[in-house]
Chain A
Amino acid sequence: MLLPDHSYVKAESLEECLKTLRETGEKAKVIAGGTDVIFNMRLKLFQPEVAVSIRGLKDLLQVEELDDGSVRIGAACRLADLIDHPLAGGRYPAFRQSLEAVASTHIRNMGTLGGNICLETRCWYTNNSDQWREGLQGCYKTDSELCHVIKSSTKCHAINNSDTPPALIALGATLTLQKEGAKREVPIAEFYRADGVDFSVLGPGEIVTHVTIPPVSDRQVFIKITPRKGMDFSLGAVAARCDGEGEQISNIIIVLGSLVTAPVVLDKPAQVVLEAGLTDDAIEKAADLVRDELGEVSNLYGRSIYKRQIAIVLVKRALTQLREQ
């Protein structure tokens, strides 16, 4: 499986990068660590004419504390470097757990935070070689109006299988998105869309440049369930955070990842434990409500009935761990 023909632009500055992206439009693909982009190019899922590298852009490599105590992290920072960084993994335990959960040492050494946030949704009907895909009718991801995962669906059900987003949503992070001549701040909770093809609000020529995490309490957790330890995408992941002491809590947020096309913020279960506190009963009751909020869970990468069960277990475990913190 060879890489498709393409040219490679190593941007010298953020301005140059954004300019190139505007000029090349849809023909371009941003590449940072390359751990996902290169692989998808080999599968011919991405066939960009230009690969625009943001690796090494100084503006995107900073980790700094802002005046209000927030931490701003450049999107091109490598996952491995953030794990032990005192302002990143060192300050936010759930973020650290999510960083450690990504793939393998080698991939974390190359992969970047921005890349993990923008990770292409995955599906075993598309994430195989182009020759393999010839055996199938196209789908929303390629060239047809069809989803192989849920045949009756009017949209793509590929899974958002990325580890850091649930944690960053739980921590209330905000993304800085930039394109030539424009810059905006979007809460990461509003970044993802429930559509496997058009899975984020990124516009043409726009990239994620920074992630800003506000100061939050240490009561936070991230758990990922995988078929094997490491080097694996998750069957389901949860991130949760709250304020307060013991069973009494405030400001709780619970996020599930890797189960559907976008991370899911669980409102009703959060409401239950917010009102009743983190008691055994309330945790059970909250877990029972997970199923309703997830919506349709497909058989992609695992039986749907099993994945729904996993979601319940994850929420129970997360809430129990929060209580113990």
Chain B
Amino acid sequence: MARETKTVRETKVGTPDRSRRRPRFEGELGSREKTDLDVIGKRQPRLDGPEKVSGRSIFADDVQLPGMLCGKILRSRYAHARILSLDTSKAEALPGVKAVITAKDIGEIDVNGREPVFASDAVTYIGEEIAAVAALDELTAEKALELIEIEYEELPAVMNMRRALKEGAPLVDGKTEGNLWSDDIDNYGEVEPAFETADYIFEEKYEAGVTHNLFAEFHVAVVDFSLPDKLTLYTPTQTSYLMQHALAPAFGLTLSQVQIIHLNTGGAFSGRGSVRPHHYIAILLSRETRRPVKIFATGDEEFLVCRALGENKYKMRMALKKDGTITAFDMEAEMDGGAVGTEVGYFGWMAGLCNSWVFPLEGLRMRRRCVLTNNRPNFLGHGGLMLSTNAAIMQLINTTAKKIDRDPIDLLYQNAIEEGHTGLSGEWFASCGLRECIETVRKASDWDNRYGKLESYHGLGVGIGSMAAGAKGAFRHDTSAVMVRVGEDGIVTVYTGIPDMGQGTHTTMAVIVAEVLGIDPNDMKVIAGDTDLTPIDVGAFAQRGTIQTGNAARNAALDAREQLTVYAAGKLEVDKDDLVFRGGKVYAQNAPDKSMGFEDLVYKTLHGKEGRSVMGRGFYNSPLQFGTTSWSFGAQIAEVKVDPDTGEVQVLKVWVAHDLGRAINPLACEGQIDGQVYSAMSQILYEEVQTDAGLYLNPSRLEYKVPRSYEMPEIDYHLIETIDPFGPFGAKEIGEGIIVVSGGAIAAAVSDALGGEFIGEMPMAPWRVLKHVKRVQRQEAAGRSAA
């Protein structure tokens, strides 16, 4: 096989002209006025809450279709092996088996143009799909898998990046030279001069282990492809839109012939952004058998199917001036892409950018190398690579502050950007409450009286960060569309394609529509999760829901209101621009006694001579060609306690201030904060897939340790509203903006509890922390005896 050498791709972007106020966008800006709103800003319990907590919500695994078969996948048990022979005849002969398929049965179909659906000549990781069966029931399907006979010839495998990059290492895919899938360097501004003129340069290394997204809902696909012109797929996803776009061409269908029903999605955490082999396999089995097929992952299979974070290693270099000005970062990341090269390097770029654009840097250099290994193909976890990057940077800054005798919170405040700043990569920050966030948590935590004065093995850490609310780039458009149907009884139904994976976005859309129409969101319905019913929506990722779909919902509601004003203005004899929709009524701005009830208005609009049924439509597409209009900012302080005997870390309290633009639903915002602080704590301190030669030793909810509610720290919430000119009513995001900063604050707090020791490993599991405790104790003892 021809060897492929990947050359280093290096880009250079000079310092942008910061004298231009809006360098990348000349569009119209919305009002920054903080208007008095009626529904938005109230604590609205999620509309599907009662259904969820009483177990009545329908998830994909609940779906039972007539004649449905059970699909099971035979997976590789070797990290690297040649398949010498594959015999499915005994499995096919087993009564109850309706189909057995392997690579030779499926033609040219592959997964996202990147990985094969089934391994054919060789397997390159444990868990790789080799064959699949569809049978009348699960037991028969399991038995059939046991009857498939495979002869392997084991091949040398590389199970970590260090070995994969060694000269002469076996090639994972047989062709990529040196197992280096990608090597990208981006330079922004003036990097070398900044380091040359720096008064201090600090450098640290940081490593993060393998994780799983650990959604509550396992991977599952229910498919009906029994008729050739209609493919229906029930599956949890962050984006039915991208799934349609992947599956339609793969199976020779039009987009409309592919119906994705995502129902409720039980968690995603960056792990459900694309189509996976099990989706394709369920479709192929359904096509083959002309019957519906369900495939669901068992407990340990779950850890093989996922595409979560692999091992990541960072080197961080930071340049400072004597006065504490941070002038440049130089970050190098090595990312284990697993057996299939992915765009994880792109997310390394995102992570580097989003964690550094909070500082007005002179220079930024980022190198990301994606390495192939015989591990599970890796992708993203909750908080992506941004969490680990922030944990490294914030620890670096907190420990640096100690070294140069500065208070870390002063150092961060001094270096924090302000509204109107233009970043090195050209982004313009139209709203930015970063400094207000820092001031808020500083005051709330009594930082000035407590930092450096806690009892021993207690620590305080501060982190800051930002997050892009939406990022256009996958397509020329980044469109979300929403329909608003006003029922004859005044009940309003919102149709949206955005999935609610638990973040509460459906309720957010209802609140936005309710604000515009002046109604109670509890009287509304949200129809979602079925591409045959709902309008286009690119999906719930990159924190785009509130800003993109939220704007679409607002536009749809405005459209519906416009239709209602026609009758109301005539009936109340006022100018339609003077009409106010509020509190379930429509009235004249300056003459509130001229009013009518919303329901009455809807009824009369329909029963008037035009028979006008009101349906609003709205869409929103970012005005940019590429990138992001709005960023959230945040500051957090974490307080931890380390047990010096056992190395256990307890997070005692986290103070959170987040500039989210506008809190559409403060209750949901606090829920988002809870969930993300939890997840950050979990990833920084607990989560790790334990491996032995590529075999996952702890693929279960019991052994893959995550904290429980007992470990949850007290949280002090501060929602900072800066009213962004692009977001609906000024809202930006509270998607992953929190988790990134929590990670930094918690990591820095652990470091502070150990007197400023940089802890370069994630998770900071007790055995690792204990090593650092011992090291610090030895140093202290040596210091004492020297004195």
- Listed in ascending order, the chain A residues whose CB lies under 8 Å from chain B are 1-2, 124-125, 127-129, 131-132, 134-136, 148, 225, 227-233, 301-303, 305-306, 309-310, 313, 316-317
Query: Is A129 within 8 A of B299, CB to CB?
Result: yes
Interface pair B300/A228, CB less than 8 Å apart: no
> Pick the contact of B767 from A124, A135, A306 — CB < 8 Å?
A306
Beta-carbon contact of A2 and B700 below 8 Å: no
B475: interface (CB < 8 Å): no
- Asked if A124 and B78 sit within 8 Å, CB to CB, the answer is no
Residue contacts A-B, CB under 8 angstroms, 25 given: A1-B299, A2-B138, A124-B697, A124-B698, A128-B300, A131-B75, A131-B145, A131-B298, A135-B77, A135-B695, A136-B695, A227-B766, A228-B686, A228-B707, A228-B710, A231-B702, A232-B702, A232-B705, A306-B766, A306-B767, A306-B770, A309-B646, A309-B770, A313-B645, A316-B645
Ranked nearest first, the 5 interchain pairs of A and B with the lowest CB-CB distance are A135-B77, A306-B767, A229-B710, A124-B697, A313-B645
- Rounded to whole angstroms, the CA-CA distance of A134 and B697 in the bound complex is 13
Cβ–Cβ < 8 Å partners of A125 in chain B: 697
- The reply to whether B646 and A128 contact each other, CB–CB distance below 8 Å, is no
Q: How far is the CA of A302 from the CA of B646 in the complex (A)?
A: 13
Interface check B186, CB cutoff 8 A: no
A310 touches B708 (CB 8 A): no
Q: Can you name 6 extra interface pairs (CB under 8 A) apart from A135-B126, A228-B708, A309-B770?
A: A128-B700, A131-B145, A132-B300, A134-B77, A228-B711, A313-B645
- Residues of B close to A301: CB separation below 8 A: 703
Assess the A230–B708 pair: CB atoms within 8 A: yes
Taken together as a complex, chains A and B put the C-alpha atoms of A274 and B601 apart, in Å, by 88
- B139 x A229 contact (CB < 8 A): no
- The main secondary structure of chain A at its interface with chain B is loop
> Is B690's CB within 8 Å of the partner chain A?
yes
- Residues of B761-787 whose CB lies within 8 A of A: 766-767, 770
Residue from A124, A129, A230, A310 in contact with B646 in the complex, judged by beta carbons closer than 8 Å: A310
Complex interface: chain A residues within 8 A of B75 (CB): 131
Question: A305: which B residues are within 8 A, CB to CB?
Answer: 767
**Residues of B with C-beta under 8 A to A309:** 646, 770
CB distance from A188 to the nearest CB of B (A): 26
A-chain residues with CB within 8 Å of residue B145 when the two chains form the complex: 131
Asked, given contacts A128-B300, A132-B300, A135-B77, whether A227 binds B646 with beta carbons under 8 Å apart, the answer is no
Closest residue of B by beta carbon distance from A300: B697
CB neighbours (8 Å) of A302 from chain B are: 767
Q: Is the CB of B299 within 8 A of A124?
A: no
> Chain A: which residue is nearest B774 at the CB level?
A309
- Inter-subunit contact B711/A229 (CB<8 Å): yes
Nearest residue in B to A303 (C-beta to C-beta)? B767
Partner of A128 from B138, B648, B699 at Cβ < 8 Å? B699
Q: Enumerate chain B residues within 8 angstroms of A303, measured Cβ to Cβ.
A: 767
Contact for B699 among A132, A134, A310, A316, CB less than 8 A = A132
Query: From residue 685 to 728 of chain B, which have CB atoms closer than 8 A to chain A?
Result: 686, 690, 692, 695, 697-700, 702-703, 705-708, 710-711
Name the interface residues of B49-103: CB closer than 8 Å to any CB of A: 75, 77-78
Interface residues on B, range: 35 or more
How distant is the Cα of A132 from the Cα of B767 in the complex, in angstroms? 27
B703: nearest chain-A partner, CB-CB: A124
Contacts of A124 in B (CB 8 A): 690, 697-698, 703
Tell me the bound Cα distance from A129 to B302 in angstroms: 12
The complex places the Cα of A124 from the Cα of B688 at a distance, in Å, of 14
Inter-chain CA distance A1–B145, complex, in Å, is: 13
Tell me whether A231 and B645 are in contact in the complex, defined as CB-CB below 8 angstroms, given that A124-B698, A132-B699, A134-B77 are known contacts.
no
Q: Which residues of B contact A233 (CB under 8 A)?
A: 702
B562 close to chain A: CB less than 8 A: no
A134 to B127 CA separation, bound complex (whole angstroms): 12
Using CB atoms and an 8 Å cutoff, list the residues of chain B in contact with chain A: 75, 77-78, 126, 138-139, 142, 145, 298-301, 645-648, 686, 690, 692, 695, 697-700, 702-703, 705-708, 710-711, 766-767, 770
- B705 is contacted by which of A128, A148, A228, A316 (Cβ under 8 Å)? A228
Q: Once bound together, how far apart are the Cα atoms of A314 and B506, in whole Å?
A: 50
**Chain A residues near B300 (CB, 8 Å)?**
128-129, 131-132
Residue of A nearest to B707 (CB): A228
- Which among A1, A134, A228, A302 has the greatest number of chain B C-beta atoms within 10 A? A228
Most buried by B among A132, A310, A313: A132
Residues of B within 8 A of A2 (CB): 138-139, 142
A229–B713 CA distance with the chains assembled, in angstroms: 13
Min CB distance B300 to A, Å, is 5
Bound together, the chains give a CA A313 to CA B774 distance in angstroms of 14
Q: Specify which of B77, B301, B646, B686 is in contact with A225 (CB 8 Å cutoff).
A: B646
User: How distant is B231 from chain A, measured CB to nearest CB, in Å?
Assistant: 29
When the two chains form their complex, are residues B766 and A230 in contact, meaning their CB atoms are under 8 A apart? no
A302 to B703, CA, bound (A): 11
Most A-side CB within 10 Å, residue of B126, B138, B708: B708
Residue of A nearest to B706 (CB): A228
> How many Å from the CB of A161 to the closest CB on chain B?
11
Q: How far is A77 from B223 in the complex, measured between Cα atoms in Å?
A: 47
Residues from chain B with Cβ under 8 Å of A313 in the complex: 645-646
Report the bound CA distance from A310 to B765 in whole Å: 14
Chain B residues near A316: list those with CB within 8 A. Answer: 645
Measured in the bound complex, the distance between the Cα atoms of B770 and A301 in whole Å is 17
For B698, what are the chain A residues with a Cβ–Cβ distance below 8 Å?
Answer: 124
Q: How far is the CA of A310 from the CA of B702 in the complex (A)?
A: 21
Per the bound structure, the CA–CA distance linking A131 and B697 in Å amounts to: 13
Tell me the complex Cα distance, A148–B693, Å.
Answer: 12
B652 to chain A, nearest CB (A): 14
CB distance from A59 to the nearest CB of B (A): 33
Write the nearest CB–CB distance from A303 to chain B, whole angstroms.
Answer: 5
Distance (Å) between the CB of A216 and the closest chain B CB?
Answer: 28
A302 to B770 Cα, complex, angstroms: 13
Complex CA gap A313/B301 in Å reads 37
Contacts of A129 in B (CB 8 A): 298-300
Cα distance, A317 to B645, chains bound together (Å):
10
Residues of A within 8 Å of B705, CB to CB, are 227-228, 232
**Docked complex Cα distance between A128 and B142 (Å):** 16
* A residues near B77, Cβ cutoff 8 Å: 134-136
Chain A residue nearest to B142 in the complex (CB): A2
CB pair A135–B78 under 8 Å, yes or no, is: yes
Give the Cβ gap from A247 to chain B, nearest Cβ, in Å.
22
Q: How far, in Å, is B655 (CB) from chain A's closest CB?
A: 23
- For residue B301, which residues in chain A have a CB less than 8 angstroms away from its CB? 131
For residue B32, give the distance in angstroms from its CB to the closest CB of chain A.
45
Residues of A within 8 A of B142 (CB): 2
**CB proximity of A128 to chain B, nearest CB, Å:** 5
**Complex-state Cα separation, A310 to B766, whole angstroms:** 10
Q: How far is the CA of A1 from the CA of B142 in the complex (A)?
A: 9
Residues of A within 8 A of B126 (CB): 135
Report chain B residues within 8 Å CB of A1. 298-299
Query: Which B residues touch A134, using CB under 8 A?
Result: 77
A66 to B299 Cα, complex, angstroms: 47
* Chain A residue at smallest Cβ distance from B78: A135
Q: How far is the CA of A310 from the CA of B301 in the complex (A)?
A: 32
Decide yes or no: A229 and B695 within 8 Å by CB, A124-B690, A135-B77 being known contacts. Answer: no
- Chain B residues near A231 (CB-CB < 8 A): 702, 708
B697 (CB) vs chain A CBs: closest residue: A124
**CB proximity of A217 to chain B, nearest CB, Å:** 27
- The docked-state distance in angstroms from the alpha carbon of A199 to that of B87 is 40
Closest to A44 in B: B142
Given contacts A1-B298, A2-B138, A306-B770, contact A227 B78 (CB under 8 A): no
Chain B contacts for A228, CB-based, 8 A = 686, 705-708, 710-711
A138 smallest CB distance to B (angstroms): 13
Bound-state CA distance A305–B646 (Å) is: 12
Give the shortest distance, in Å, between A130 (CB) and chain B (any CB): 9
Closest to A312 in B: B645
CA distance A203 to B767 in the complex (A): 39
What residues of chain A lie closer than 8 Å to B708, measured between beta carbons? 228-231
Most central of A1, A128, A232 by chain B CB within 10 Å: A128
For A136, give the chain B residue with the smallest CB separation.
B695
